Chain A
Amino acid sequence: DAGVTQSPTHLIKTRGQQVTLRCSPKSGHDTVSWYQQALGQGPQFIFQYYEEEERQRGNFPDRFSGHQFPNYSSELNVNALLLGDSALYLCASSQTGTSEQYFGPGTRLTVT
């Protein structure tokens, strides 16, 4: 049973650029959440997608946007990158009606 997968593993971007990160949920899961984890901190909730719509959002600016596809996979887009966007971006999947979220390995984004 494949777990949550994310791509790419690592990414280096320049300030002002745009980036797209991808996530495939665990088999049988229909909900995808995205988190940002700065070095030495716990993950912070960005937003959650279900039925191809954003249904909950954390305290992140509109530069952060996402999408969910009919096969439940998801993308996280960040525009106008800032140095402070450098972090580990984590995708977590879950099944509607259950509490547990299962995380992928993350994408390490470095903004220079």
Chain B
Amino acid sequence: EDQVTQSPEALRLQEGESSSLNCSYTVSGLRGLFWYRQDPGKGPEFLFTLYSAGEEKEKERLKATLTKKESFLHITAPKPEDSATYLCAVQARGTSYGKLTFGQGTILTVHP
């Protein structure tokens, strides 16, 4: 069974203090790994898709990387508006229908 574990559960940063969020996964052949951002009471907002080990994607202050067992979401010089829950999900190869298996998320709080 596919599994995703995110750490830490919660992370508090000062504005400008860079850090990383971790996503460890077990899947029977990875088709894709996805990062989403979710604000309280809202639906997840798509950020990145990573398909193979060594791949990197960037968007503003966020950079996602992928290895064979985990993914990292690096946040450089965060701002208070980056505060949100960050969700990681995997999609297994052979699952052409697209079920996503999510981790429990990391709650990021950035203080001014």
Residues of A participating in the B interface, judged by any CB pair closer than 8 Å: 4, 6, 31, 33, 35, 40-45, 48, 50, 55-56, 58, 88, 90, 92, 94, 99-106, 108
A40→B31 CA distance, assembly (Å): 26
B52-70 contact mask (Cβ, 8 Å, vs A): 1 or 0: 0000000000000000000
Q: Is the CB of A42 within 8 A of B98?
A: no
Residues from chain A with a CB closer than 8 A to the CB of B28 are none
Give the interface residue-count category, chain B: 20 to 34
- Total CB contacts across the A-B interface at under 8 A: 67
Residues from chain A with a CB closer than 8 A to the CB of B97 are 48, 50, 55-56
Q: Is the CB of A41 within 8 A of B104?
A: yes
Q: Is the CB of A100 within 8 A of B34?
A: yes
A87→B6 CA distance, assembly (Å): 21
Q: Is the CB of A103 within 8 A of B104?
A: no
Q: Is the CB of A43 within 8 A of B102?
A: yes
A61→B91 CA distance, assembly (Å): 22
B14 at the interface (CB under 8 A from A): no
